Structure formats: structure tokens, C-alpha cells
Chain A
């Protein structure tokens, strides 16, 4: 199920110049709370951050090509890309590549996106998230 609220591309489309994009992958058929909650947060945030970030939603059952490459096995995964380069975030969870749980707070998410944008613009491949999620994320 592809979220119709968000800007959709069929694959990981090319990000426009100067903007970061992040991709949320959704598992088909898995309309559980985790994925829906993340969708909700993303859709409400999309308008606010549209000046520096664009959101793509990808259904990994329909587009399975990148599943092994990025290890997309969770119900909802958010990854960040800037000018076609994958940006890592130190969230404290041990997995710096993606956010694979549902964030509840919109402002937290906006902060993460802003930090990624700032660091990526300076040329950093790894940024440190403003909040530490080492023991706090739940499914």
C-alpha cells in the first residue's frame, strides 16, 4: 500500500538539486500500527519541510530490488539521501543507516531531518541525531 498522501515516485527517484530526500518503505499488506503511525507523522510533516526535504514512499513488495542491498525487512523504514548519497545518522541504536521504528513526535522528526540536511550540506556522511534512541524505541 503506497501512502497517497505523500509525494510518490515509483522507485527511489533522483532527488532534486539542493534538497535531501528520504524514503520510507512500506511492507505490502502490513497495515499495522507501526507503519501507519509513521505514515501519519510523515504526512503531517511533509508540508513544513518541503523547502529542504522531499518524502518518497516505496512499497517494498512492489519494488523488491533494493531489499537485500539496504536490508529492508521491517514494517517501516526511513532512510536519508542527499544528492544521491546515503547519509548515516547516529541514533544510538547501533544501526546508523535507517530509522526502523515509528517515531511519534513530529518535532523530533523535523529535528532529525534538519540535522541530516545541515551535516550533509557540509559534506558529512554521518551526522549525530539530536536525541538518543538507544533504549527507547519500541515496535
Chain B
């Protein structure tokens, strides 16, 4: 850390002379801060185990302090475009930007750690709050506001949270299983909240600074998404090269918030989009096209970031072309479809009918196929007159059926598949009606095998398998009636 500080100081020495007095001020401020730190360190020893400072060290670190100072100075100085002539890597401002990126990631992590700390402490008081308020900074603010209060009607959360969440929080607080915290624990928690908020402000400062320099750092990216969003993306990714290494789908999700459902359905929740949502292009596209636009923006922004990370186009022309491309594509999506032309009819018989094939068709054709018996009846032997049904050439001719020289020993009727289907239907119709008969019909049935037979009307009631067999696909089953017992 010391070497880093030294290198920073060495950088500072390179700056022009009129900043010398600023440098002096800076050093004084640094010294002051160090004094404060020493004071804090003394207090630390009196705190208990599992206190804040054992987990949260960032604010104490030299690096943090240095960079924050520089950022504040740079913000006061305003944007300085005069250093365009320098090679990027040697420019101290660029170094600062790079450091800022790393620092913002660290601040983020630090905030998460502090959030965990606050959460652990506050769990005794209000355990449900962590699931209702996800964002760490919001959580810290709410905790600070509520403090040790048991009755939430006395606490005004207006402006900290959306009103729906306030309502849910109030309701949950009234039924919470938490107890008020002891005073010292409460104090530690409040301190942690303060620190989290301070870190948050610091992060904002850093982001503002990066944003103001964005046009110089990453011109292509800022042309496409705007400098604010570009700064945020870079900050979250941890640097321009880190951003360039990310695939576009990740860039799309940088900064995506997790939605608090509070019992509402996920059906209406929006698609996942992060900082890209805040870009001007996204805001101006119609809602129907927004998800497509988001994907497009993310991919082009990634390309621009890659160009910028290698300084391929310092003037930002590539960014302009990409932006044009994006605009054109979104325009094209919004075009109405081409008008429907009335089509003239095709020439009749010019398109041959689509003949189907396959097993199913073959089976179907088999039912109507010509049987062997019919084939024999259709043919005649040469020189031999055929027999006919009415004799003497009248009536239907039998052809080679039954003739001496036909070569077939015996011709059976054969199983006619068409007949089988018809017979089945016939059977159902006649023998299945004994369940619901009118008084005029008799139960006597004339069967081909047994002659006259009395059908048992109960026989068919059991055919349905006493309700366990499925009657849905049964060929013989019709409606079944289940009697209530």
C-alpha cells in the first residue's frame, strides 16, 4: 500500500505548477484524515468482538483515502481536455479513472459486507425486513430511521421506499417476532448504517467523476449509451478492459435490480435489464420493442467497449456508426408490414394432388382392395364359356371361379376387412341395445349360430369392467351410469 501511495504522489509531482498549492492542501487533508483514523482506532479496541471495523476496512485504507481526495479535487477542477496530446496510459487522470473503477467495485463489496453486518445485528429486532427491502443502501436508511422503535406508525418512511413497500413493512412490523435491541448494539448498528451511507456517497462521487471524464476515456461507448450509463457500466464491471471481456449478455444485466415481490405475481414482472434501461435510446423505443432494443444495445455497447479498451478509435467515429446502425434497426422494426396483395387463382390442374403414402394409407386401401375371388371371377379362360348366376349367359358371370382348369384348388372368401368393420358396428347396434329397451321390443334375438337366443340384459352392464376400465377409448362402451350408493 505504501508503494502505491508513493506512486500516486509521484504522479502528482508530474502535474503542472499551478496545482502545487492544491497539492499542499491535499496533503494537509490527508494528514487530517489520518488523525481522525487514529482516533477511531483507539475506540475500536473498546468495542466488542464482531464489530464493524473488523469486517469493514476499506474506509481506513490509504488507497481509498488517496483516491477519494484526488477525485474530489478533480471534480472541483472541472473537465480538463488539454491532455489529449498525451499517450493514454501515461496520463495521470487515466490512471485515476482506472483506480476509480477498481475502487468503486471495492466500495460495492464493502457495502455488501456492511449490509450483512447491519442485517445480522438488526435481525433480533426486525428479521423480516431483510426480505422486504433488498437494496443495501435502502436497508441501511430504513434501519437508521426505525432505530429501536417498535411501533412503526410513529416512523415516517416516506421517500425512502415506495409506498407499497412501506405498507408491507408496517404490516409486518406489527406482527414481527423481534425485540428491541440493547443500546450498544443499536449504536453499532447505527454507526454501520452511517458508514454504509458514507460509502454510498463516496461511490456517487467517484461515479460522477468518471462520468465527467467518460467522453475522453471511452468515446465510442459514451456515444452509444451516454456517459452516465457508460460510467456506471464501467464502474460495475471494474474497468474498461473488464467490461470489454464480458459477453454482451452479461453487459445487458449489469446493474439489474432484484425485484421485491411482496406477494405480487411474477407474470407482470419485467424482463431483465440493467443500466442499459437508463439510456436514451432505450427510453425512446416503444414498449413492445424494448426487449429487442435492450439486446441490440448491449451487443453494440460491448463492441464499442472493446474498441475503446484498445483505443482503436479515439475520435469516437465507430461509436457514431454503431449508433446510426442501432437507430436504423429500430426504425425498421417499427415499419408496418407490406400491404397484402390479392393473389390471382392458380391455373386449374397445374398443381398435381399431393398423394399420401405410408402404412396407414395402405391399411385403409386394403379394405377396398380386390379380393382373389373377385379377380378370378373377372377373368375367363380362352375358349371355355363361363358359368353365370342365372344360367345361359344371363346374370352375373363367374369367370374362372369353380372351373376345372383354373389351377386353384379352393378359393375361400377370405377375410374382408371392410366387412369386419361393418359387422362389428352391426353387432353393437343390435346386441348392445338390451340395456335400454322400450316395452315393445323383445329380448329374443336371432343369432346366426345358435338360432333364437334370449339375450341377458345384464350382460352388457358388466362389459364396462365395473368402472375400473377406461370407457373413454373403449369400442363397445357407450355411456356408463354410476349409481350413488
Any chain B CB within 8 A of the CB of A4? no
B349 x A51 contact (CB < 8 A):
no
Chain A residues closer than 8 Å to B346, beta-carbon distance: 51
In the bound complex, how far is the Cα of B349 from the Cα of A134, in angstroms? 28
Q: Scoring B residues 320 to 364 as 1 if CB is less than 8 Å from chain A, else 0, what string do you get?
A: 000000000000000000000010111111000000000000000
Partner of B348, one of A48, A50, A117: A117
B353 to chain A, nearest CB (A): 14
Task: Report the count of interface residues on B (CB-CB < 8 A).
Answer: 7
Any chain B CB within 8 A of the CB of A110? yes
Chain A residues closer than 8 Å to B344, beta-carbon distance: 47-51
A118 x B348 contact (CB < 8 A):
yes
Any chain B CB within 8 A of the CB of A16? no
Q: From B349, which residue of chain A is reached at the shortest CB distance?
A: A118
Any chain B CB within 8 A of the CB of A139? no
Chain A residues closer than 8 Å to B342, beta-carbon distance: 47-48
Any chain B CB within 8 A of the CB of A73? no
In the bound complex, how far is the Cα of B341 from the Cα of A47, in angstroms? 11
Please indicate which of the listed interface residues B342, B344, B345 has the most CB atoms of chain A within 10 Å of its own CB.
Answer: B345
Chain B residues closer than 8 Å to A50, beta-carbon distance: 344
A48 x B345 contact (CB < 8 A):
yes
In the bound complex, how far is the Cα of B344 from the Cα of A50, in angstroms? 7
Chain A residues 86-139 with CB under 8 Å of chain B are 110, 114, 117-118, 121
B349 x A49 contact (CB < 8 A):
no
Chain A residues 40-78 with CB under 8 Å of chain B are 47-52
Q: From B346, which residue of chain A is reached at the shortest CB distance?
A: A51
A52 to chain B, nearest CB (A): 5
In the bound complex, how far is the Cα of B348 from the Cα of A51, in angstroms? 9
In the bound complex, how far is the Cα of B349 from the Cα of A48, in angstroms? 16
A7 to chain B, nearest CB (A): 14
Partner of A110, one of B345, B347, B349: B345
A116 to chain B, nearest CB (A): 10
Chain B residues closer than 8 Å to A121, beta-carbon distance: 349
Q: From A110, which residue of chain B is reached at the shortest CB distance?
A: B345
Chain B residues closer than 8 Å to A49, beta-carbon distance: 344-345
Chain A residues closer than 8 Å to B347, beta-carbon distance: 51-52, 117
Chain A residues closer than 8 Å to B345, beta-carbon distance: 48-49, 51-52, 110, 114
Chain B residues closer than 8 Å to A48, beta-carbon distance: 342, 344-345
Q: From A50, which residue of chain B is reached at the shortest CB distance?
A: B344
B162 to chain A, nearest CB (A): 60
Chain B residues closer than 8 Å to A117, beta-carbon distance: 347-348
In the bound complex, how far is the Cα of B345 from the Cα of A51, in angstroms? 7
Q: From B345, which residue of chain A is reached at the shortest CB distance?
A: A48
Please indicate which of the listed interface residues B342, B344, B346, B348 has the most CB atoms of chain A within 10 Å of its own CB.
Answer: B348
Please indicate which of the listed interface residues A48, A51, A110 has the most CB atoms of chain B within 10 Å of its own CB.
Answer: A51
Please indicate which of the listed interface residues A48, A50, A52 has the most CB atoms of chain B within 10 Å of its own CB.
Answer: A52
Chain B residues closer than 8 Å to A47, beta-carbon distance: 342, 344
Chain A residues closer than 8 Å to B349, beta-carbon distance: 118, 121
In the bound complex, how far is the Cα of B346 from the Cα of A17, in angstroms? 16
Chain A residues closer than 8 Å to B348, beta-carbon distance: 52, 114, 117-118
In the bound complex, how far is the Cα of B345 from the Cα of A110, in angstroms? 10
A84 to chain B, nearest CB (A): 19
In the bound complex, how far is the Cα of B345 from the Cα of A118, in angstroms? 14
Q: From A52, which residue of chain B is reached at the shortest CB distance?
A: B347
B196 to chain A, nearest CB (A): 74
Chain B residues closer than 8 Å to A114, beta-carbon distance: 345, 348
B350 to chain A, nearest CB (A): 8
B73 to chain A, nearest CB (A): 78
Q: Scoring B residues 52 to 83 as 1 if CB is less than 8 Å from chain A, else 0, what string do you get?
A: 00000000000000000000000000000000
Q: From B342, which residue of chain A is reached at the shortest CB distance?
A: A47
B43 to chain A, nearest CB (A): 92
A126 to chain B, nearest CB (A): 18
In the bound complex, how far is the Cα of B347 from the Cα of A65, in angstroms? 32
Q: From B343, which residue of chain A is reached at the shortest CB distance?
A: A48
In the bound complex, how far is the Cα of B345 from the Cα of A117, in angstroms? 13
A118 to chain B, nearest CB (A): 5
Chain B residues 234-256 with CB under 8 Å of chain A are none
In the bound complex, how far is the Cα of B350 from the Cα of A121, in angstroms? 11
Chain B residues closer than 8 Å to A110, beta-carbon distance: 345
B85 to chain A, nearest CB (A): 71
In the bound complex, how far is the Cα of B345 from the Cα of A47, in angstroms? 9
In the bound complex, how far is the Cα of B349 from the Cα of A47, in angstroms? 19
Given contacts A47-B342, A49-B345, 5 further A-B contacts (CB under 8 A): A48-B344, A48-B345, A51-B344, A51-B347, A110-B345
The contact sample of 23 A-B pairs, CB cut-off 8 A, is A47-B342, A47-B344, A48-B342, A48-B344, A48-B345, A49-B344, A49-B345, A50-B344, A51-B344, A51-B345, A51-B346, A51-B347, A52-B345, A52-B347, A52-B348, A110-B345, A114-B345, A114-B348, A117-B347, A117-B348, A118-B348, A118-B349, A121-B349
B interface residues with partner A (beta carbon < 8 Å):
342, 344-349
The 3 closest A-B pairs by CB, nearest first: A52-B347, A114-B348, A51-B347
